[in-house]
Amino acid sequence: MTTAPPSRMRPVDRLLVLDDAGPVRRDRVRPETRRAYLYLAPATLVVGGLLVWPAIRTVVDSLTIGCRGVCLANFTDAWSDPLARRALLRTLAWAVALPVVLTAVGYLLAVVSRRVRRAGVLTVVLVAPMALPMLATAVSFRLLYDPDPSRGLVTALLGRLVGSHAPQALGPGLVTFAMMSAFVWAYLGLSVVVFRRVLDAIPSQQVSMIMAETGRRREVYRWLYWPILRRVAALLVGLAGLFSARSFDLLLALVPGSSQPAGEVLALHVWRYGAGPTAGPAAALSVLWFAVLALTVVLPLISFRAQWRMPPVDVTVWDRHLPARYSGLRHRLAQALCVAAIVLWLIPALLLVFASLHADATLASDGLSGALSLASFAEVLGAGGMLGNYLGTGLFALLVAVLVVAFAGPAAYALGWLRPPGRGTVLTIVVVCATVPVQAITIPLVQTLGAARLSGTGQAFVLAHLALGIPLTTALLYGAFGSLSPEQMRQAVIHHGADQAGPARATLTQVGPNLFAAGVLQFVQVWNDVAVGLLFAPPQLSPIGLSLLGQLRYYTTGTGHVAGATVLFSVVPLVAVMVARKQLVRLLMAGVSGNWQAKPTKR
């Protein structure tokens, strides 16, 4: 009896039926649709019950509260309120201006940094603020813009240039600019790193080929750079729109109470007026806010339909694959721009550390020119329960990160590799769910948790973080599973037959770093969180972010103590991001490029 050669054998007892005829294509591996939906079920139950349903309830409330039936009265009432209307317009400005600034400036710095020496210093300095809690960014810029010239660097400089009539950066006239500058400081590093990653991966041979055929530099941008960079720009625009919803922490901690109405956005307005007699207009504003965020994130992702696979490149050393460096005046200008960016990005962080090295009494009497000491750190660490808050927040963030990856990983595997029917629609829903702000669904979510008798418990706090973290993590891991190597997966099936360990090991080998990066990202998000803790944290659990937010009320008289607590609060996420920086870059780029998990090669 003759048997078929190994290349023609089909393991029919497996869930995967392998057709080895013809070239390698992912479409030749056809999993059972039932298996894909089984992987999607846990994440669907959590997100559907705790995110989609509250969002639908918010839409229904915006159309029915105060109405007999269905009407648009809440929308007209919200628009007729001057405070609400200005908050909506500011939110629109944030959603449009910030992505444009981050994309344009990030691309400029990425291009310039590739043509100067020691550009890695610039990259590290720009990336570090992205790991810091938004509260730390707010405290740093509050020190920078402090109205007291002895503490506020910008105030002191403006006073010397303009005199006693210098405008206040945190006053009503400039508060929006102050907030946006802090936001750009926090997230510009992401734009620079992503653009550098893509530009370094473009083969120089293709550039030379197009130049040889056309003789025009603009044709290189038209046929090579533009198709690639527009996908990256779409990713950055979507992420910037998503991050703009997190201006809640920034406004609450940076802007003094007297100036908050002049800079209020929907993140803060909905939180303040979401209950009581203004619940209907607040629900209408929540719907409009959600629509703005969804459009900001979803529309740019349309350009992701085109496929492009970048060659692998070592992300640990960015200076290996550099174009010809500038010479003469252009080189000096490029170096000056990089040095200026480094100095500007170091000032807020150094100012925060410098303020933490002063006692409160010294800052009150002598400002930042007083004697240095470690009294603020000793005071923070000696406060009752502070070390317990640090440990409790870390364990809680670790628990949530593990649970989010456990739910999002199988869902991303089903969408990215198994690819069931309707996956495009499901993925669009996932991306839309990732844009839902927690303030917009607070009331329905509290009611849902109350119906399950979980209100005010630690379980409710965990579930709220799960519902908000699963969609974004699934969307990020989708690109990683979608870029699995079909050849490696097919060889694993051939060599291991009915043994499930082979394909599972091949999958983990390729996406393991992405799963680790997703866990680190979720850990940092939970550690840095303020909004979810403010709304759902039980009394017996006091996250460190809420403790720091409570201390900000004593900022004027306890600046050194607040700065010391902020520095200690920022150490953990900063170390986590620096340790996992390579994996985080690959995770963010998995949806833009192809298989980032291949072994890096030198060109």
Q: Find, among 110, 97, 140, 193, the residue nearest to 344 by Cα.
A: 140
Distance, in Å, from the CA atom of 92 to the CA atom of 87, rounded to the nearest integer, reads: 9
User: What HEC string does 36-63 produce?
Assistant: HHHHHHHHHHHHHHHHHHHHHHHHHHHH
Distance, in Å, from the CA atom of 511 to the CA atom of 518, rounded to the nearest integer, reads: 11
Q: Which residues contact 422 (CB under 8 A, 6 or more apart)?
A: none
Supply 340's token pair.
């200026």
Specify the pLDDT at position 496: 57
Supply 401's token pair.
């990160």
Bridge partner list, 18 = 29
Q: Which residues contact 70 (CB under 8 A, 6 or more apart)?
A: 63, 64
Domains delineated in the chain: 41-589 (1.10.3720.10)
Distance, in Å, from the CA atom of 353 to the CA atom of 333, rounded to the nearest integer, reads: 30
Q: What are the C-alpha distances in Å from 542 to residues 246, 461, 522?
A: 20, 11, 19
Specify the pLDDT at position 503: 64
Does residue 299 contact residue 230 with C-beta atoms inside 8 Å?
Answer: no
Task: Please state the separation of Cα 225 from the chain's center in Å.
Answer: 25
Q: What is the mean pLDDT of each run of 10 residues along the chain (603 residues)?
A: 44 42 43 82 95 93 85 89 89 84 89 80 89 91 84 80 76 86 91 84 73 71 75 75 75 82 84 76 88 78 51 39 57 85 92 83 62 80 76 93 95 88 87 87 90 89 94 89 72 59 69 92 93 87 85 78 89 92 82 40 35
pTM (2 decimals)?
0.84
Q: Find, among 201, 198, 302, 239, the residue nearest to 99 by Cα.
A: 239
Angle between helix 328-356 and helix 559-579 axes, rounded to 10 deg: 130
Supply 27's token pair.
């479409």
Distance, in Å, from the CA atom of 493 to the CA atom of 11, rounded to the nearest integer, reads: 9
| 523 phi, psi to nearest 5 deg | -60, -45
Amino acid at 492: A
SS3 133: coil
Specify the pLDDT at position 574: 93
Tens of pLDDT along 416-438? 888 888 888 898 899 889 888 88
Distance, in Å, from the CA atom of 346 to the CA atom of 236, rounded to the nearest integer, reads: 23
Distance, in Å, from the CA atom of 195 to the CA atom of 107, rounded to the nearest integer, reads: 6
Handedness of CA 545, 54, 521, 341 (dihedral sign): negative
Specify the pLDDT at position 54: 93
Specify the pLDDT at position 319: 37
Specify the pLDDT at position 421: 86
Q: Find, among 291, 247, 243, the residue nearest to 432 by Cα.
A: 291
Bridge partner list, 30 = 17
Where do we find the tokens 């929540």?
Answer: 286
